[in-house]
C-alpha cells in the first residue's frame, strides 16, 4: 500500500465513524480510500481500481463523474444552489415535480421532498397516519410490512423494517407494526409457480386485513425486489392483489421504490409491471443518478385534498432544511434527460439479456443456488461453509478489482447501466473465480 492510501485510511479511521460498520473490523479489513471515479470504476490513491458492481449502495445509474450530469450541475451552481422550500419555490423543483408525475403511474400529481431514502419512508408513514386523522378515522394508526422488508433506519422506517440485525437493538424504541408473509419466489413448494407463491402470500395479507383493517393506516412494500434482506424477488401478481385488498379495506398502499425505481427492475418503476398505482410512491437513490441526496414521495389528489384546509395543523407540517435542494433537483432532471435521450429502458432490456448470457457459467456453477434476475438486478446464493463469507468475499473482490458487497451468502450484481459487455464479462468471470474458492 502506498503512502497515499495508508494516510487517508488512517486519518479516516481516526476521524470518521463509518456507516453500517463495526469500526473494530477495520483493524484487519482496511478501508478503501477512493481518489476519483470514472464510469463504472472507482480509483484509489495508489492507482488500483475497482469495478462498482453495486452502484455505490444502489444509487449510481450512469457512472461516476458523468459528463452530462456534471455539466447540468455546473450550470445550476452559477444560478442557484439552494433556497428553503417553505414559502419559496424554484425552477428545478417545479420541473422535476412535473416530470416525475408525468412518468409515474397515473394520478400521482403531488411531490413532497426529503433528502435520503429513509426520509421518504418517514414522510409516507406520517402522511398516511395524518391522512386518517384528517379524515376523522383516528383509530387507523397501524402499518403492515412484509417479512424481510427494509425501509430505512430512522426510527419510523425501522419500525416497518424486518431485518433483525438492524432492528432488534432498538426494538424498545419502535412502534409495533404487523409483519405479513413475503411472496419470496424461493419459497415455492414442489410444482408451485412464483405466481402461486404470490397468491398464497396475498391470501395471508387478506386474512390480516380482514381482521385489522379498522386499525390499519397503510401497507408498505418494496415492489418486486426486497433489496437489503438479500435481493428477494417475487411475482408482480402480489402487487396486483395487494392493491385490490388495500382498496377494498380502505388501507393506503405505500410503494417504496427507493431501490427499485429508475429502471432497476426493467421498467422505470417496478409498479408498472403490475399495472398498479400506489397511494404513495417513495423515490430516492437513482433519482439523482447517485450524485446528491434527494428523496421524493409522490401522492394522489385525494391524499393532498385531505390536508388542504384553513387550519394550519391539518397541513403536513414536516420539513427538512434541504427539502427540494436546487442542485439535487437539477441532477435529477439531468438523469431524466438521459433516460429520455438514450431510451435507457429499451436499451437496458437488451443489455440485461446479454448480461444474463454472460453470467450463464456462474448460474451453472455447482455452488450457486437460486440464480435469479429481475431487470438489471442479478442475485444468487453461494453454498459455502464459510461463516465469514460476506467479509471474505468482499476482500476477494477487492483483490480482483471488484466492489462486491454480499448480503450474508447472497451475492448480487446491481451495476451502473453504462457497464460495457466486456466489463460485465470481467465481473462475471472474476466472481466465478471467487465462488470456486468459497
Ligand atoms: C427499499 C429501501 N427503502 C429505504 C432505504 C433507505 O434509504 P437511505 O439509505 O437513503 O436512507 C433503502 C436503502 O437501501 C432501501 O433499499
- Name residue 51's beta-bridge partners: 41, 402
Give yes or no for residue 257 CB within 6 A of ligand 1.
Answer: no
Sheet holding 216-221, edge to edge: 110-114, 295-299, 280-283, 252-256, 216-221, 142-146, 178-180
Is 316's pLDDT higher than 70? yes
Q: What dihedral do alpha carbons 159, 161, 164, 170 form, nearest 10°? A: -30
Q: What percent of the chain has pLDDT over 90?
A: 99
Average pLDDT over residues 394-419: 98
Is 34's pLDDT higher than 80? yes
Is 1's pLDDT higher than 80? no
For residue 119, report the distance from its CA to the centre of ligand 1, in Å: 9
Indicate the top mutation candidate among 285, 290, 328, 414 to test ligand 1's pocket, ranked by most ligand atoms within 8 A of CB: 285
Atom nearest to 257 CA in ligand 1 = 1
Q: What percent of the chain has pLDDT over 70?
A: 99
Residue pair 376/348 in contact (Cβ under 8 Å)? The answer is: yes
Is 283's pLDDT higher than 80? yes
pTM greater than the 0.85 cutoff? yes
User: Per residue in 11-20, pLDDT tens?
Assistant: 999 999 999 9
Residue nearest to atom 10 of ligand 1 (CA): 117
For residue 309, report the distance from its CA to the centre of ligand 1, in Å: 32
Residue nearest to atom 16 of ligand 1 (CA): 259
How far is it, in rounded angstroms, from Cα 158 to Cα 228? 13
User: Per residue in 201-228, pLDDT tens?
Assistant: 999 999 999 999 999 999 999 999 999 9
Task: Say what the pLDDT of residue 50 is.
Answer: 98
Atom nearest to 226 CA in ligand 1 = 1
User: Per residue in 129-142, pLDDT tens?
Assistant: 999 999 999 999 99
- Dihedral sign of CA atoms 283, 288, 289, 290 in order: negative
Residue nearest to atom 4 of ligand 1 (CA): 151
- Name residue 216's beta-bridge partners: 142
Residue pair 58/376 in contact (Cβ under 8 Å)? The answer is: no
Task: Say what the pLDDT of residue 3 is.
Answer: 67
Cα 280 to its chain centre, rounded Å, is 15
Q: Give the Cβ contact number of residue 164 at 10 Å.
A: 10
User: Per residue in 353-406, pLDDT tens?
Assistant: 999 999 999 999 999 999 999 999 999 999 999 999 999 999 999 999 999 999
Give yes or no for residue 116 CB within 6 A of ligand 1.
Answer: yes
Give yes or no for residue 284 CB within 6 A of ligand 1.
Answer: yes
Is 2's pLDDT higher than 70? no
- Residue 391 has which C-alpha cell? 467479509
For residue 93, report the distance from its CA to the centre of ligand 1, in Å: 22
Residue pair 393/404 in contact (Cβ under 8 Å)? The answer is: yes
User: Per residue in 68-108, pLDDT tens?
Assistant: 999 999 999 999 999 999 999 999 999 999 999 999 999 99
Give yes or no for residue 93 CB within 6 A of ligand 1.
Answer: no
How far is it, in rounded angstroms, from Cα 196 to Cα 185? 9
Mean pLDDT of the chain: 97
For residue 221, report the distance from its CA to the centre of ligand 1, in Å: 12
Task: Say what the pLDDT of residue 191 is.
Answer: 96
Residue pair 219/252 in contact (Cβ under 8 Å)? The answer is: yes
Give yes or no for residue 51 CB within 6 A of ligand 1.
Answer: no
Amino acid at each position: 500500500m502506498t503512502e497515499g492510501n495508508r494516510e487517508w485510511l488512517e486519518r479516516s479511521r481516526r476521524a470518521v465513524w463509518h456507516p453500517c460498520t463495526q469500526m473494530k473490523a477495520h483493524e484487519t479489513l482496511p478501508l478503501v480510500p477512493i481518489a476519483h471515479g470514472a464510469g463504472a470504476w472507482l480509483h484509489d490513491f495508489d492507482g488500483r481500481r475497482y469495478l462498482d458492481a453495486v452502484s455505490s449502495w444502489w444509487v449510481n445509474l450512469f457512472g461516476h463523474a458523468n459528463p452530462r450530469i456534471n455539466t447540468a450541475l455546473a450550470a445550476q451552481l452559477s444560478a442557484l444552489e439552494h433556497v428553503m422550500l417553505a414559502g419559496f419555490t424554484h425552477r428545478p423543483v417545479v420541473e422535476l415535480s412535473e416530470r416525475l408525475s408525468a412518468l409515474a403511474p397515473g394520478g400521482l400529481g403531488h411531490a413532497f421532498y426529503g433528502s435520503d431514502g429513509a426520509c421518504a419512508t418517514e414522510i409516507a408513514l406520517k402522511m398516511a397516519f395524518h391522512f386518517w386523522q384528517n379524515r376523522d378515522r383516528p383509530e387507523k394508526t397501524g402499518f403492515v410490512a412484509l417479512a424481510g422488508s427494509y425501509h430505512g433506519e430512522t426510527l419510523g422506517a425501522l419500525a416497518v423494517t424486518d431485518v433483525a440485525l438492524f432492528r432488534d437493538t432498538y426494538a424498545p424504541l419502535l412502534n409495533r407494526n404487523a409483519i405479513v408473509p413475503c411472496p419470496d419466489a424461493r419459497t415455492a413448494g414442489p410444482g408451485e409457480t412464483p405466481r402461486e407463491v404470490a397468491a398464497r402470500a396475498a391470501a395471508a395479507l387478506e386474512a390480516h386485513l380482514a381482521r385489522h383493517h379498522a386499525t390499519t393506516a397503510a401497507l408498505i412494500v418494496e415492489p418486486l425486489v426486497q433489496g437489503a434482506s438479500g435481493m428477494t424477488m417475487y411475482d408482480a401478481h402480489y402487487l396486483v392483489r395487494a392493491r385490490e385488498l388495500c382498496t377494498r379495506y380502505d388501507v393506503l398502499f405505500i410503494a417504496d421504490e427507493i431501490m427499485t425505481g429508475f429502471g432497476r427492475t426493467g421498467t422505470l418503476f417496478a409498479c408498472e409491471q403490475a399495472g398498479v398505482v400506489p397511494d404513495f410512491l417513495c423515490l430516492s437513490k437513482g433519482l439523482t443518478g447517485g450524485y446528491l441526496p434527494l428523496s421524493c414521495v409522490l401522492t394522489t389528489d385525494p391524499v393532498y385534498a385531505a390536508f388542504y384546509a384553513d387550519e394550519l395543523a391539518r397541513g403536513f407540517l414536516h420539513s427538512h432544511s434541504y427539502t427540494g435542494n436546487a442542485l439535487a433537483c437539477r441532477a435529477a432532471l439531468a438523469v431524466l434527460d438521459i433516460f429520455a435521450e438514450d431510451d435507457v429502458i429499451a436499451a437496458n432490456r437488451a443489455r440485461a439479456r446479454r448480461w444474463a448470457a454472460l453470467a450463464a457459467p456462474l448460474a451453472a456453477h455447482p455452488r450457486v443456488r437460486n440464480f435469479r434476475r429481475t431487470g438489471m438486478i442479478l442475485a444468487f446464493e453461494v453454498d459455502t461453509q464459510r461463516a465469514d463469507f460476506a467479509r471474505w468475499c468482499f476482500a476477494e473482490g477487492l483483490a480482483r478489482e471488484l466492489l462486491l458487497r454480499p448480503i450474508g451468502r447472497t451475492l448480487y450484481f446491481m451495476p451502473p447501466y453504462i457497464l460495457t459487455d466486456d466489463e460485465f464479462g470481467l465481473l462475471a468471470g472474476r466472481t466465478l473465480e471467487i465462488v470456486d474458492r468459497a
